[in-house]
Structure formats: C-alpha cells, structure tokens
Amino acid sequence: MGTLTSSSFSTVNLKLCSDLIVKDFRDRTQLKKWKKQSALCFSCKGGILKREACNFSKIRCFSVNNNNNNHHHDSEKDVVDNGSDSENDDKYSNVKAALSEEKEERSSTEFGSDKAQASVSSRPPTISPVGPAYNNFQVDSFKLMELLGPEKVDPADVKLIKDKLFGYSTFWVTKEEPFGDLGEGILFLGNLRGNREDVFAKLLSRLAEATGDKYNLFMVEEPNSDAPDPRGGPRVSFGLLRKEVSEPGPTTLWQYVIALLLFLLTTGSSVELGIASQINRLPPEVVKYFTDPNAVEPPDMELLFPFVDSALPLAYGVLGILLFHEVGHFLVAFPKKVKLSIPFCIPNITLGSFGAITQFKSIIPDRSTKVDISLAGPFAGAALSFSMFAVGLLLSSNPAAAGDLVQVPSMLFQGSLLLGLISRAILGYAALHASTVSIHPLVIAGWCGLTTTAFNMLPVGCLDGGRAVQGAFGKGALIGFGLTTYTLLGLGVLGGPLSLPWGIYVLICQRAPEKPCLNDVTEVGTWRKAAVTAAIFLVALTLLPVWDELAEELGIGLVSTF
C-alpha cells in the first residue's frame, strides 16, 4: 500500500484500503483501542478545521511515513499553521492539546516507539490498523514473503486430519510443532498405538480418503526424544506437508539448456584427456607449454588437430562410463516409481568428468529404495570402469597391441593404492618400476572411471555415497562420516591433488540436505548395510594414494631419492 501524494482521495479508496487492513490485523481488543485513538484525527467533522486543512490532514494521517516518531508532530504543525483565523484559535488550541495527550498516551503503550498512523476523513473510519506500525517497504516485504513463501497447511485440514487419522488405535497426538525447512508443515508428536509400519499404512489410507491428493505424510524419528519406543526402535512422529511444497518441482527449460551446455563442456574435457594421454607424441612446444610453469607464450593450437581422431576412443570411454552410471540410477528408480532429473555433468580436465548431479524429482517411499537407487549408479559405472581397466592391462602386456599403447609416467600408478596394486600384479615389477609405462588407452579410461565413481561414493552431502549412508545408517551416521571425509579431503589424504577441487565442489553444490523419505524410520536390511560398508571401504582404497616409501617397497612407480 503506497503513500498518497495528491491533495484528496475518494471514499472508495479509503474503504478499500481499510478492508485490506482488516485482513492483516486480527486482534479485536487492540482494534477498539485504536479506533478510539484514531477518532482524534477526524476532528474536522465538526467544522473545527477548514476544508483545505481537512483535505491535507487526510493525506498526512492516511500515509504511513518512514519517520513514525515525527508523525504527530507534523500533524500538530499542520493544524496550527492552518489555524490563523482568530475565531478558531480556541478550537485549534483544543486540537493541539488533544494531539499532545494522544502522543503521550501512545508512548506508554506496548507498541514502544513504533506507532501506527490513523486515517482522517470527513466521517469516522471503518477500521484502523492494530499492532506494531510498519512502513510501506516493510508491509510490502511481508506480503511478498507470504506470497512467495511455501504455502502452509490449512488449519481446517489440521483439525480434520486429527479427527480422521489419529486416535487410540493408531497414534495418540499430544503435541504439535512446525515441520519442514521453513515451518510450513505440522509435526504431530504423541504415542504410537501399534506396529509403526502398520499404523503408517493405515494413516496413509485414511489421509487419502479425508483430503485426497493434497498432502504428504512423513513418518520420521521424533526430534529430541528422551527415550526409545517401548515396542523397540526410535520414537516416531508424523509430519504433514502440502504436496506442492514437499515434492520437487519439474525440470525447467533453463535447466535443460544448462544440462546441454555442461554435457558439451564435459565432451570437450574428455577429448582433452584423450589428447593429453598422447603426450609422448605431441609437438615439443605444446608439451613444454603445458608442463613448464615458466612458459608464457601459448603455442599454435592447430598443432593439436591431428591428434583429435586418436583421442576420441578414450573420450568415448569416459563418456560411456558416465552414461552407464546414470542409466544404473534410472533402471532402479523406474520400477519403484521414483522420478529423477536430467543429469548435470561436471567437466574436469584431469579425469575428463567429475560425474554428474542427478536430483530426485519425487518423494522416496522408504530408506531401502533410497539405498538401492544411490548404489545402482556407482555399481554400474564401477563395473564398466573395472572391465575397461582390466582389459586395458591385459592388452598392455600383449605384444600384438604394441602399436596402440601410449607412454605415461610411472608415478601415475601411485595415485591409488588399490589400482596400483592391481596394475603391479598384472604388469609386473619391471614394467612399473621404470620412469614411463606403456599402457593401452583403456587403462586410462578405466582408471578415470573408477576414480570418478569413488569420488561420487564419498559419504558426504547429497552424493551417491552420502545418500546411501543416510539411508542405511541414518542422519547421525552421515554427519560423522561427512566430518571425517571433509577432514581427510582437506589434509589431502584422499584423492591426492584432486582432493581440494573435489572438496570445494562438494561444499558448494552437495551440502544441502534433501527431503526425508515418506517412511524415514524403518531400517534397511543387513545385506544393504553390508553393501554400503564394502563400497565405502573400496572407495577409501581407491582414493588413498601410495606414499613414496611404500611405493618403493611395492615397486609401484620409480621413486628417485636425493
């Protein structure tokens, strides 16, 4: 509601604004007090003020000024300035005294220094604001936040749901609290009256009958619970959210555009990896520019064009692993009726790709489904990557494939304890204990795919590993695993030189928590927990680099001592 600047306004406008004020202020007791106080602004009714002064006072009183403390002083001045006629001196003095009494009375109220402004009209107003006064910007901001913020649960629906869903046979409600990221939902706390899975299924059925497809009901662990449930397991409570608030929105056109651009950049970084793998064949000036930190003058990049064709097989391998990873997610999510977003690829010039971000576009029914979907992608990508890695090592030791081999520094195999040991077992001590090693490009593709998969399986944030750990062991375990992982990444213990960029990526893009499962209490089976534990153990072995002393002893790379 903006400030008026004209010399008069219509009664219709006054009534319209008054009606809007009614919706914002509901305290009827304070309303009566304000109506009594605001009557002083309508002293023009008895002819005390001239018509010009009356019109001007309408504007002053109706406007909500930023400087609330000076409002009555200005009003008082207006009255005195317009009261120059001698016949009205006494009347103006009365008005001035009344305004002074009004200001003293309002200063002693509970509203402190913030005063609401009353309206002046030729007749008493219909209604006046109640509560603390706000300027135009504040009022508009509150209304904008209310409009743009999530829609809250209808109080009438809360009463209906309490009557229809809960009771002695299901869940006895003892307390209600806000639920959701912004408190837009209702959390029902109380006592469970049966098996939690059976009660939850019954509540879902009753909710659909009572409200249709309007709300989502979540079964979550009771926050700040003092003791476990007498029937075993944690105490539970039930959260209610509107579906449009709790369920993720659809993928927008801009997200599709961004996903396409990221895929093109990832394709370029994969081709760059393929070109860099041929370092022993590249022109010397190009190699010097990318390896010498003192090189300033860039070479002619057209010299790299002849090497693009030979770099494509490696690029296809990296992109194929990325695609296989995402297909694994979708194949498990589809039969469980869980929607996933389009993948957002993350390009990386060292590995070709850092994987992709795939968001859940629907609420996950339970923790077991969350574990299955989270593990499906890394397992599929790791299976294809390891196949490439193993076949590449076998071809590297085959003399018939010597023409397809590329030379790489032997220190490359110190980047991973697990992959270095496997390479040492297949290629032998003599091959790895040299300055360079001849390997097939499939080894590089498999190595990069396994490293990328291991990074995505780290138990932090909303990575596949973080989702799997949260689903298998709960939020508390994820917090513990996450703090440990961040510490190891910060110290460079995991991932070597890639630990810093990956840690920054996780902190920026993957730290926000996701919505809970509909059934966020029922634990997963033992074999799922064992699969997650084994995966985290393999991730640690893959990302753990080999320090020089151990590398010299195992024969992984040629370590020079000075």
Q: Report the mean per-residue pLDDT for the chain.
A: 74
From residue 527, give the alpha-carbon distance in Å to each of 78, 215, 375, 532: 82, 33, 13, 9
pTM for this entry: 0.69
Distance CA 300, CA 304 (A): 8
360 and 248 in contact (C-beta within 8 Å)?
yes
pLDDT 10s digits, 195-219 = 889 999 999 999 999 888 889 999 9
Instruction: Find how far residue 216's CA is from the centre of its chain.
Output: 20
**Burial profile 126-154: b = 16 or more Cβ within 10 angstroms, e = fewer:** ebbbbbebbbeeebeeeeeeeeeeeebbe
Reported as a pLDDT band with limits 50, 70 and 90, residue 386 is very high
Q: Looking at the predicted structure, is the pLDDT value of residue 353 above 60? A: yes
From residue 122, give the alpha-carbon distance in Å to each of 1, 32, 89: 21, 20, 21
| pLDDT top residue among 18 and 486 | 486
Distance CA 172, CA 190 (A): 5
68 and 28 in contact (C-beta within 8 Å)?
no
What is the dihedral angle through the alpha carbons of 459, 465, 469, 470, rounded to the nearest 10 degrees? Answer: 90
Tell me the domain boundaries of the chain: 151-246, 253-554
Cα angle 464, 466, 469; round to 5: 105
Distance CA 39, CA 37 (A): 5
Q: Looking at the predicted structure, is the pLDDT value of residue 335 above 50? A: yes
Residue 433's nearest CA partner among 524, 327, 534, 558 is 558
Q: Looking at the predicted structure, is the pLDDT value of residue 222 above 80? A: yes
Q: How many CA atoms lie within 13 A of 234 on its CB side?
A: 17
Question: What average pLDDT does the segment 106-110 reach?
Answer: 47
pLDDT 10s digits, 51-64 = 334 443 333 343 33
From residue 166, give the alpha-carbon distance in Å to each of 163, 293, 418, 456: 6, 70, 54, 42
